[in-house]
Structure 1
Amino acid sequence: MKAPAGPRDLVVAVIGHGRIGRQVLAHLDAAPGLIPGRVLTRSGRPDTGDADDFLSTPCDLILDTAGPGALRAHGAACLAHAPVWSVGAAALVDDSLRDRLAGVARTHGHGLRLFGPWVAGVAQVPPGLATGLVLRISRPGSGAEFAGPLRAAAAAFPDELNFAVAAALCGPGLEATRVEMTDGPEHRIEARLDTRIGCFTSTMAFAPGGLHPTAQALIAGLEALHPGIGYGA
């Protein structure tokens, strides 16, 4: 059991206790300077299933590791309480929800950060310079066969495309992003990002049964956020 939070510690509450949530919570338990806060799940285990109870305890940051349904259900209330990092970006293809959450964030001064826009370096391109994004996604057992605009794909396969919506919103936008999805033998993502300064490409082949890449992106963000934690080039 960790000691109570000190003046420089960050208290991090978590929504979800699936594969991503469990990996993030294990990091919070072990990392110096980071204190696990409340945990909200549909089952109520290991902490609570009551959103009001979850938000009754102060925290410095809320991590939504549960996906687009959780962002739709709890995003506004959480942003009124603390900054939010979410893996549920697919919910934001709904323009009205995106506008509503942006309004709450402005009112309360709490940002919404999406994970993970690591695709083809999109997070490193200054705003306004990205002009187009093409994603080719293969994953065994996904049952997904699709080629077309991201907005339509995310409506049909929201749990497969949270990262893609995050990348689009951090880059050229939803309308300038196209996806091609297959149920293939290997979990693989190929990306092409067109910008006014050049074209960036990337290929990611994920190890079967390995650590969840989005969980690791959240953990990297936490390490970079806290003073004295993390590494830089």
Structure 2
Amino acid sequence: MAYFKSMKQDFSTFLPQDDWREQWEPYLDLPLRKVLGPLFSLLLAPVPLLKWRAVSAFGVTVSRLAEQDLESARVVMRRLMWNLNEESGAIGWGAPESMGESLARCSRLAVEFNRILISYAQEPASGDGNYLDHEPLRRGVYWGMARLAEKQPDLVQQGRSTFLELLKDEDAEKRALGLWGLGSVGVGAGQENTSAVRSLIEDKNVVVLYRNDQLREYLVSDLAREALVKIES
């Protein structure tokens, strides 16, 4: 327990710093499942940047764990999935983001778990599915999907319809996440889809997104232009 508390305190101190990656490297030489314990708790951190850096560190660590022991990394993914299951009694804060970050950093895990991540955001046509009714958790799924699409767009093609739906949402952050995702996976067939992206070029709403290890403000209009450049190229 003292080991856990000590690492959590250390992580809380340096993860928000710009050089957190350099400070993280020595921990990758430790038993990685013990390192992940404090990170799980920091996914609930009230300080936004600390929470998001914990997500990044989680992905780095799971990717390294998969190189050493793929089955152990699968167990971590299943724990995240369990945390998103209503039967677990947990709320699952940070779980979809951590899953998306881990899959973005590990192609082996991405091939196995990409459909599960996407299923959390899509209501099944029939029967039971994994759709998350809790909207704040789905927002984390949208982020995880967009993050994975940055690295492995082919694995997120079935999420295109979700990104397109987000463009119509009243919530500016959801529109921004939809644009981020579509910039990687493309809009698919239909001029109306490209037009949906173009319609947001004048959207001057400001959102806060975590991208490239940084938590910063973006104009939705800038994200629309960024998406169009990627789509049209």
Q: What's the TM-score, normalizing by structure 2?
A: 0.30
Asked which structure has the greater RCO (Cα within 8 Å, sep 6+), the reply is 1
